[in-house]
Structure formats: C-alpha cells, structure tokens
Amino acid sequence: MLAKSTPAEQRTVLHNVSWETFEALLRDTGEDRGSRFAYDCGTLEIMTPLFEHENPKIQFDRLIFSLVEELSLEIKSAGSTTLKRRLLKRGIEPDNCYYIQTESRVRNRETLDLETDPPPDLAIEVDITSSSVNKFNIYAALGISELWRYNGQNLKFYQLVDGQYIECEFSMAFPIVSVRDMSRFIEQSKTMGEIALLKLFRTWVRSTLEG
C-alpha cells in the first residue's frame, strides 16, 4: 500500500486581480475563513494551510508569549490580520504578527490601518511549500522591521535595512534569542510534548538572562 503525501499548504494563484477585487474578496470571505491571502500588484495567492503548516505556527506563538513574559515585556498580538496598503497595491496575512517595540502606540486600537498606524514589529511566515508571490517584497513595502521565515526544516531571521531584508543571527525584538536557539526549540516541538517544551524553553530563557 502506497502512502499518500499531503502537501502542507494548498495554493491557488490568480493574476490581473484589481485592488478593488482583492478588497471585495477580503470583505466577502470574512475573518473566519480558513485560507490566507497575499496580494502583490495584481497577483493574488490564496493559501489554505494544513496541519504541517499550522502546528509550527502555534509553537512559534507560544514560545514568543513565554519569552515576553519572562522578559517582562508587553506585546500586542495581531495574529493573521490583513496587513495592506492601497497605494502600494500590496497586502498579506502573516501566520502571526506582533507589536513589541511599538506596542504602546496600538494598545488601545480595535482596528488597524497601516496608512496611519505603524506596522507590526515582527511577522512570522511559515511556508512549507513554495509561494508563488515574493512575500519579501510585500513585507518590505509594508515596513515590517523583522521577519522570521520557516520552511518546515530551516528557520531564518531577517531585518529590514534600507528597504531590503538582510539575514541575521539574532532577533531585533528579542536580542537574547539567536536563530540557532529558536530553531532548536522548534525542532524539539516535533517530538516533545507541548507543555514539556514550554517548561524547557522558560528554563533556558531564565538561565540565559542569569548568565
């Protein structure tokens, strides 16, 4: 009996999609839909995530929350909120995104408008299969200062410098965390219980701070 491989994401790509059509799709499909959109100057990718995609997303979120708690930082989570700017004709829905350095500026906000509000400080992008749009261009245009990208095997940190993403070893939002450190815990999440992983991570953060 042959084992059937299921892709971690199902992607549909549409071309020559106007901004008005993009916004209409966002409005008509609502916030509770299972798919996520990425729009780049007329090209629209619709991605439906499956388990292999969603589990790492959840692990990143929990590790980040444990981290900010141990560091006594405040955070404003924006999840997979649609981040978009009409004039730039770009929009994206990250796996997770957070306000950290600029948390106080959006603490009381119930809606976000990137034409007037600051962009999130950190976005998490899980792409197990290859995307059909250049997400770096979208995130850079929106001004996301830090991006973590994970492909199911490798994690990379990027910082936005002069409009371009530069790969870096340490997180800008969390300077004590290296890409090697976070990669180790994400890899362990594949074989450890989730509560045990969080306990181990918190212990590591405390020992790093004490050291």
What pLDDT, in 10s, does the model give residues 20-29? 999 999 999 8
Is the pLDDT confidence value at 6 over 60?
no
Q: Which pLDDT score, from 0 to 100, does residue 7 have?
A: 55
Q: Which pLDDT score, from 0 to 100, does residue 100 have?
A: 97
For residue range 125-161, list pLDDT tens digits in order: 998 877 778 999 999 999 999 999 999 999 999 999 9
- Its pTM stands at 0.90
Confidence band of 14 (pLDDT split at 50, 70, 90) = very high
Tokens of 117: 């509000």
User: Domain for residue 35, yes or no?
Assistant: no
Task: Say which CATH number the domain at 86 has.
Answer: 3.90.1570
Domain encompassing residue 149 = 51-210
Our measurement of the distance from residue 113's CA atom to the centroid of its chain's CA atoms, rounded to an integer in Å, reads 18
The amino acid occupying position 180 is: R
User: Domain for residue 5, yes or no?
Assistant: no
Cα separation, 44 vs 17, whole angstroms = 7
User: Domain for residue 32, yes or no?
Assistant: no
User: Domain for residue 21, yes or no?
Assistant: no
Total domains present in the chain: 1
